[in-house]
């Protein structure tokens, strides 16, 4: 399970204008779904930006946005950070049995 930390209860959304500032540690809201950035693929002329919804979101499957859709639908959630879950050694050993 992923852990999210937010400084404020209400979401402050910042429109994404620069694709070079996308980060896998930031949380983005796209069409009402909280997501994280996985990376990009495609060509220089036609880049595709990959996102995956965070746990407990209605949308479950990863999705791609082209540059135009990214510029109109993607917002960074200010103050919210995605942290990968950290498993402790003891818990991993117990799960094996």
| Percentage, residues of the chain above pLDDT 90 | 70
| pLDDT, tens only, 9-49 | 578 999 999 999 999 999 999 999 999 999 999 998 999 99
Rounded CA separation 65/71 (Å): 9
Residue 8 pLDDT grade (very low, low, confident, very high; cuts 50, 70, 90): very low
Domain 3-96: give its CATH code. 2.30.30
pLDDT computed for residue 7 by the predictor? 45
């Amino acid at each position: 399970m992923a852990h999210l930390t937010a400084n404020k209860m209400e979401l402050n959304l910042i429109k994404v204008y620069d694709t070079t500032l996308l980060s896998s540690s930031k949380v983005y809201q796209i069409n009402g779904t909280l997501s994280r950035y996985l990376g990009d693929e495609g060509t220089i002329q036609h880049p595709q930006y990959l996102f995956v919804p965070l746990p407990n979101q209605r949308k479950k499957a990863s999705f791609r946005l082209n540059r135009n859709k990214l510029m109109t639908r993607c917002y960074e959630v200010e103050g919210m950070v995605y942290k990968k879950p950290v498993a402790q050694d003891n818990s991993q050993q117990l799960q094996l049995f």
